[in-house]
Amino acid sequence: MFNAREELAGEVMRKKRASGPEGGDPAKSSPTSHALVIHGPNLNLLGEREPQVYGRTRLADIDRALKSLGRELGVAVETFQSNSEGEIVDRIQQARNRADIILINPGAYTHTSIAIRDAISAVGIPVIEVHLSNVYKREPFRHHSTIADVAVGRIMGFGAEGYYLALRAAASIAAQKKG
Ligand code: DQA
């Protein structure tokens, strides 16, 4: 089940694929890789949620910036947010044969979800784990991640910037994958 924001992202991507290169740098007009960005529970409240911990940037602004950076890097970026573990598992499964790489901030599910970990292992798509805060400077229960050892790498503590760093890493991993 796709939400409206995702539907729009998909539509933009379909149009981009249909329109093909528009001149100039081909990497900018025809993305060759597809990155799925998954935001877990409570990240829909970014900007108003504990801004001293998570910053003041809203999720919609992060998603917009990721899509724009993706255009520069030749990566079509699809974004998805859910507060529900099962929906996140569904979304990871749907990424099979579709996404070259996944960026995920599982929010609190980072520390508890074996289901999300299993979904990542099942689809075999490279995953980059992202956190806005440096979880190691916080409560001990945040120090454990169920997905750390099935992720390619982890970026944390840089606020919204961490997503952009992760997308740059994702672009080169996806390009290497395509050979
Ligand atoms: C978080 C860290 C988690 O511990 C927390 O539950 C979140 C956000 C982060 O981005 O820093 O929801 O993943």
Tens digit of pLDDT for each residue in 146-161? 999 999 999 999 999 9
Residue 157, classed as helix, strand or coil, is: coil
128 with 165: CB under 8 angstroms?
no
Taking CA atoms only, the protein residue closest to ligand 1 atom 1 is: 107
What's the distance, Cα to Cα, between the start and end of the chain in Å? 32
Looking at residue 117, its pLDDT comes to: 98
Handedness of CA 42, 9, 60, 30 (dihedral sign): positive
Query: In angstroms, rounded to a whole number, what is the distance separating the alpha carbons of residues 161 and 141?
Result: 24
Determine the average pLDDT of the residues in 112-140.
98
Query: In angstroms, rounded to a whole number, what is the distance separating the alpha carbons of residues 55 and 48?
Result: 8
Looking at residue 50, its pLDDT comes to: 95
Taking CA atoms only, the protein residue closest to ligand 1 atom 13 is: 107
Taking CA atoms only, the protein residue closest to ligand 1 atom 7 is: 107
**Known catalytic residue at 54:** yes
CB 105 less than 6 A from any atom of ligand 1: yes
Query: In angstroms, rounded to a whole number, what is the distance separating the alpha carbons of residues 56 and 41?
Result: 17
Looking at residue 178, its pLDDT comes to: 79
Would you list the domain boundaries of the chain?
28-111+118-178
User: What are residue 7's phi and psi, to 5 degrees?
Assistant: -55, -45
**Ligand 1 geometric centre to CA of 178 (Å):** 31
> What fold does the segment set 28-111+118-178 form as a domain?
Rossmann fold (3.40.50)
State the angle between helix axes of 59-73 and 161-178 in degrees (0 to 180), rounded to the nearest 10: 30
Q: Could you say which of 34, 54, 109, 163 is catalytic?
A: 54
Going from the C-alpha of 68 to that of each of 77, 92, 125, the distances in angstroms are 9, 23, 23
CB 107 less than 6 A from any atom of ligand 1: yes
61 with 46: CB under 8 angstroms?
no
CB 112 less than 6 A from any atom of ligand 1: no
Higher pLDDT, 32 or 41: 41
Reported as a single tens digit per residue, the pLDDT across 38-93 is: 999 999 999 999 999 999 999 999 999 999 999 999 999 999 999 999 999 999 99
Higher pLDDT, 95 or 12: 95
Determine the average pLDDT of the residues in 93-100.
96
Tell me the one-letter amino acid at 22.
E
